[in-house]
Structure 1
């Protein structure tokens, strides 16, 4: 049950599903009324979403709407207006009611303003009623699909078995290959180490030539030049 009140009138909705009731209680808003989002008082879209409109049109047929005028009690304890108890037919000329209609129109609820049904409606059947032959046809198709699925499953299981056997063989081969590879690597490493040791020994044996000092090198160079008859400039002897 949902109630929406405005300007002395209350819209009472029954037989509505949960989502619609929530929609109406939130004043046409999708989110619930919170301090940060104040529902009816909050801003709404100027144009409703077409999908939402279609959905509301569909549901409008199943929803019963009744009108009830709110009883306004003053502090002075005045008498209640006539016809205030229970439901009353809204006067189309009253400005309050027009204001209320305008309020509902603004909040996308004008689609639900239908007269309440005179007789209780029977529950609707399926949207697309199937004939018996169609139903059997569907069942046969489903059965065929299931049988084909089971055959596929068997084939798949046999394939998986074979694959498992092959995998085991491959794994065994892999293990042997790994061992061989390890052995080969070890041998190679040993050989390399031996070679390195040999090289080191050979290097040690070689005698290192003593490098001449810079002064001795200069002197040698000078003497070689003199032999060739080269005349060094004065800056060389400074």
Structure 2
């Protein structure tokens, strides 16, 4: 059973974990996708694909091997999206982008990649669809609508604790300080034996404050 204290320790750890990820990786990808030159976008999207281990799901045979720069079709699609596109029906809007990416890469299943790319581009209201998060939330594979509903319900159940913990993040000024705090919190967090997957908690903490 997940006690309030166990949840607090886990949220503290994973909010720091994601803040560190944001400062060292995601912030660079986000800034590049929104403000970078075309060449910079290609460089950073390649780095992001490697970091998130999704490159194999976007085979070179559909871009580089037929004369495009690596991930050129991805940039072409992601460049067109803006946050307001997702303000009314987020799930349906994500599916439209997913369909475009899928067509560009041979009809492959790209749901998780699509949400990761959209999160890196516009963040809120995107929630990253991750297989481990899905299993933790006990939703059906591929059911993005069910996943979003379950995620939001879980977030609402812990929203006060998340807001309190994330409000403290502004006092952590650099990655060295974050790493020290992560080390201090590691043992008590993993001793909690939580029934939640790491990615699920990162996702909750990572998207709770878009101004981090």
Normalising by structure 1, what TM-score? 0.22
Q: State the structure with bigger RCO (CA 8 A, min sep 6), 1 or 2.
A: 2
Bigger helix fraction: 2
Which of these two proteins has the greater Rg computed from alpha carbons? 1
Normalising by structure 2, what TM-score? 0.23
Bigger strand fraction: 1
